[in-house]
Chains A and B, each alone.
Chain A
Amino acid sequence: DAGITQSPRHKVTETGTPVTLRCHQTENHRYMYWYRQDPGHGLRLIHYSYGVKDTDKGEVSDGYSVSRSKTEDFLLTLESATSSQTSVYFCAISENAPSGRAIGELFFGEGSRLTVL
């Protein structure tokens, strides 16, 4: 299995509090992603990174920020959590495919289940 860990795995917090989820990889992969998964919506991209300090927004980035100061760590921050951010959050990593023309497979962390009361 790819070396990718998420922490915390479970968190319950109150509306308005800040929350940071951490994704740590030991694979030295270039690309890192944060997704959220909710019933009826599938996986939705929040933010992604294509290198250290290189990040960009995904389709559901409002209310979230990210940072990547080292290759191995990608942090997702909810500055002021809301109940709509209750979800399961998955981190994923990837690298260029052998062809070099696209990315290869994604490896996922086990997920972080966040409940905002």
Chain B
Amino acid sequence: RKEVEQDPGPFNVPEGATVAFNCTYSNSASQSFFWYRQDCRKEPKLLMSVYSSGNEDGRFTAQLNRASQYISLLIRDSKLSDSATYLCVVSPQGGYIPTFGRGTSLIVHP
């Protein structure tokens, strides 16, 4: 079983739709969680850190479920510009090697 798993998609949604991605992780000692966005042929950039209490930034909401060992990303009112690959990143407690999921592709169409 991979340490961090994501559905590769693509998720093909119309503008204005709400879409959710999940990411499961296998290491119960994981401590830091992030969602990154990567545009085609560009470097990944931080979208959101994921906190135990959940957090929201505009149209984006991230949640952590430690019991079931997954994190989620919810995008409301999708925009064309949201089209990208979304990477889940998990870091262990006391460690400094983050583990990346392979990413989930989102395509928002008019």
A, B assembled together: yes
Number of interface residues of A (CB under 8 A): 25
A39 vs chain B, min Cβ distance (A): 11
Known: A42-B101, A103-B32, A103-B91. A50 touches B44 (CB 8 A): no
Asked if A12 is an interface residue, CB under 8 A from chain B, the answer is no
Q: Is the CB of B100 within 8 A of A43?
A: yes
A97-114 vs B, CB cutoff 8 Å, 1 = contact: the mask equals 101011111111111000
A71 vs chain B, min Cβ distance (A): 15
A64 vs chain B, min Cβ distance (A): 16
Asked if A34 is an interface residue, CB under 8 A from chain B, the answer is no
Q: Which of B42, B43, B93, B101 contacts A101 (CB 8 A)?
A: B93
Which chain A residues have a beta carbon within 8 Å of chain B's beta carbons? 31, 41-43, 45, 48, 50, 58, 88, 90, 94, 96-97, 99, 101-111
A-B contact pairs, 17 of them (CB 8 A): A42-B87, A42-B103, A45-B97, A48-B96, A48-B97, A94-B98, A97-B31, A101-B94, A102-B92, A102-B96, A103-B96, A105-B34, A106-B36, A106-B98, A108-B44, A108-B45, A110-B43
Which chain B residues have a beta carbon within 8 Å of chain A's beta carbons? 31-32, 34, 36, 41-46, 49, 87, 89, 91-98, 100-103
